[in-house]
């Protein structure tokens, strides 16, 4: 029997991602369209434990679609990892008569949701993939990924100018502790001379060979994109080791783009994606769905169980990786 949904709450959790606000806006607007009461939980699971829950009106989400970050704020909650913390969160939801939850976040957010549903199955939860890493199984793209890549590519474009002017080799580190999606897409779009990612084994000899091949073509500068979780070590160690092996660049530099990739106004792609998924999350709750992530596959909204989104590996496109290596030559 489908539980009647009258009051839902939305929260953002874990790392922020551009487009989260666009998702919140779509959720609030569609909730009002269906005569639902909608609440915002501030600071993710931490706010759920503290009872930091407030009613949202349509005016609260006006003029936010273009803003980065999250108006609901976010946090990583150690307390929610304990039974006592989850019990406090549940009691606060019951006190506010919350019938369903929409969680916007990544792997850790959905892991917490699964544990919460095991203990308190009477509150349905659906999730939206809000993470710049694009590493969740069940969706072609996650909210924030496109913007993060655009930010990285803009940085690479600027670095290219100084690399060319000074005959330099740049190692540019982008985010991606466990996945190379940002690095791969940045390398292709930025015309990089190489890419190092967690999913592929690469040795110092491989990197040196790649750079020497470029030097034989009188390529006097180069840019190598490095995912932070690559298998060769820190970007600084890589640069130091390469410098000891080659001498045909005037200088070798390291640039770490870092948290710039998390911020900024979301791209039009991320705004549309977040809006479609936020709208779909409300529909999913009303249809009796629970324990699923609302994602996009082949341009269609697709529901994937949290357990699959968390546990299954989302592989890189091997053809795309092969192409990146060929175009870097």
Catalytic residues: 133
Q: Which of 293, 272, 302 is nearest to 26 (CA)?
A: 272
Torsion of CA 265, 234, 131, 155, to 10 degrees: 20
User: From the DSSP assignment, how many helices (H) and strands (E) are in the chain?
Assistant: 11, 11
Residue with tokens 């770490």: 256
3-state secondary structure labels for all residues of 113-157: HHHHHHHCCCCCEEEEEECCCCCCCCCCCCECHHHHHHHHHHHHH
- What crossing angle do the helices spanning 20-33 and 268-286 adopt, rounded to 10°? 40
Residue 223 structure tokens? 């840019």
Q: What is the largest CA-CA distance in the chain?
A: 71
């Amino acid at each position: 029997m489908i539980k009647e949904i009258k009051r839902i709450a939305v929260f953002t959790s874990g790392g922020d991602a551009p487009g989260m606000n666009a998702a919140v806006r779509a959720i609030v607007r569609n909730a009002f369209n269906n005569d639902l009461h909608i609440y915002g939980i501030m600071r993710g699971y931490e706010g759920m434990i503290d009872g930091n829950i407030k009613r949202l009106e349509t005016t609260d989400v006006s003029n936010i679609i273009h803003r980065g970050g999250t108006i609901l704020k976010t946090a990583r909650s150690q307390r929610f990892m304990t039974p006592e913390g989850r019990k406090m969160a549940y009691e606060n939801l019951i006190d506010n008569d919350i019938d369903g939850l929409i969680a916007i976040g990544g792997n850790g957010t959905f892991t917490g949701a699964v544990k919460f549903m095991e203990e308190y199955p009477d509150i349905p939860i659906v999730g939206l993939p809000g993470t710049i890493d694009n590493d969740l199984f069940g969706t072609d793209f996650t909210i924030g990924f496109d913007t993060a890549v655009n930010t990285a590519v803009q940085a690479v474009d600027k670095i290219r100018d100084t690399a060319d002017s000074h005959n330099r080799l740049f190692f540019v580190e982008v985010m991606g502790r466990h996945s190379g999606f940002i690095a791969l897409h940045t390398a292709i779009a930025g015309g990089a001379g190489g890419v190092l990612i967690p999913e592929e084994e690469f040795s110092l000899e491989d990197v040196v060979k790649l750079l020497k091949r470029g030097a034989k073509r009188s390529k006097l500068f180069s840019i190598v994109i490095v995912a932070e979780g690559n298998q060769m070590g820190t970007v600084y160690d890589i640069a130091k080791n390469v410098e000891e092996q080659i001498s045909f660049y005037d200088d070798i530099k390291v640039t770490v783009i870092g948290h710039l990739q998390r911020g900024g106004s979301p791209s039009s792609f991320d705004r549309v994606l977040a809006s479609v998924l936020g709208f779909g999350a409300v529909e999913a709750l009303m249809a009796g769905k629970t324990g699923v992530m609302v994602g996009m596959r082949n341009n269609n909204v697709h529901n994937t169980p949290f357990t699959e989104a968390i546990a299954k590996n989302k592989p890189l496109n091997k053809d795309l990786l092969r192409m990146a290596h060929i175009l870097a030559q």
